[in-house]
Amino acid sequence: MFIQGQSAASVAEMGCCGCFGFSFAKKHKNLRPTVQGGNHVLQQGLLNEEFEEEENEEEEEEDNNSYSETDTEKGDDEELRTTPAKTSQEILIYRTENDLICREFPVKQTHKVVRSEDENGNKMVNEYVRECKIGAGSYGKVVLYRSQVDGKHYAIKAFHKSHLLKLRVAPSETAMTDVFREVLIMKMLSHPNIVNLVEVIDDPNMDHFYMVLEYVEGKWVFEGAGVPGGLGENVARRYLRDIVSGLMYLHAHNVVHGDIKPDNLLVTGSGTVKIGDFSVSQVFQDENDKLRRSPGTPVFTAPECCLGKSYHGKTADTWAVGVTLYCMIFGQYPFLGDTLQDTYDKILNYTIILPEDTNPLLKNLIDGLLCKDPMERMSLKTVAEHPWVVGDEGRVPEFVCWCKRNRQTISDTN
């Protein structure tokens, strides 16, 4: 039996802090979980509260699409949001200026926006013809466009700069800071298991700002999961291998994703998983990945993140991988309370009891990933070599990225 869980249908509806009854503008500080246990009846109202978004264009039916930004609680509590964001910006700018990026070809940068209509009256942004809205988040919306140049579909994040500049997320930062950091991070990245940023459109004379992303035509990793059995071990294994490959690449480049969860993990039509949404990600100069900020999504939050103290971002990412694996296998959350504090209490204090017929290798993997002590938690390197993950495919291969190949070429010529 499970200590507790929630159906896949409800999992698809739950995203982030806003779904627990806290919107972008609301704050709660110094949450400290209690230590007593006990099961609680899930209050569906806390999972279904909709995030209200102001739009300057026509309203369309919102789809719970994986490209949606995390509606992360971003209060002005300086204790929870200190220097890492600024440090990330400085590091990213330095890497960009010194060509220390992991892309053979840079992201296209466009400084002119032409808004028009095609022959059928569909709205256009430069070469892109609008088709439909596919997601929304704290800062803007995500729209499906088709390029008139190559005929391909793209997911475009659209923002209003004036709106972002008014949203204060810290004493010295606005929402524009977060978006700017997300763009800089994605400009660095190039990996088959990470959503690719294709173009940034930023006209200094216009209020609109666009991120043109590759469109993943498939689904998200939890689609089709249900009780009992979730996705099944074979599909979950294949997805996990891609997730681990992409996340190992990020961590090797000192990038902490910060919000690994099923609806930020897109599956292409051919079954490849791609990690998306870097809106709360951070980058570090070295292995010192200490963070002190509110986590991205409560039910995927590591125990050490629930105490309001500093924690290591990479091990917190690894915990989120464990929660994601659990969801894929069992179609339920491992820890879920009827309030945010109740959820944190369960994350800190509850022990998972897996069904007796669980594959012993799978049980060992889940126990290792969901180890409450971050110092004892299974590392991604160990996960990549774990017998359940290896299966018949072998160890998760290391991706030799462009910057490593480039450094090796320079080393060989010297």
Catalytic residues: 259
Taking the CB of residue 399, how many other CB atoms lie within 10 A of it? 17
Residue labelled with tokens 């998983």: 273
State whether residue 326 is helix, strand or coil. Answer: helix
The DSSP result for 126-148, as a single string, is TTEEEEEEEEE-SS-EEEEEEET
Strands (E), 197-332: 197-202, 208-214, 219-220, 255-256, 265-267, 273-275, 282-283, 290-291, 311-312
Structure tokens at 296: 């991205």
Q: Which helix (H) or strand (E) holds 317?
A: helix 313-330
State whether residue 252 is helix, strand or coil. Answer: helix
State whether residue 189 is helix, strand or coil. Answer: coil
Distances 125 to 113, 116, 128, 162, 187 between C-alpha atoms, Å: 7, 7, 5, 19, 21
- What dihedral angle (degrees, nearest 10) is formed by the CA atoms of 133, 137, 141, 144? -40
Q: Rounded to the nearest 5 degrees, what angle is found at the Cα of 297, between the Cα atoms of 292 and 298? A: 85
- How far apart (Å, rounded) are the C-alpha atoms in residues 80 and 310? 9
The answer to whether 189 and 107 have CB atoms below 8 angstroms apart is no
The strand pairing partners of 144, in sequence order, are 132, 155
Distances 269 to 215, 221, 266 between C-alpha atoms, Å: 11, 12, 10
3-class SS shares of the chain: helix, strand, coil, % to 5: 35, 15, 50
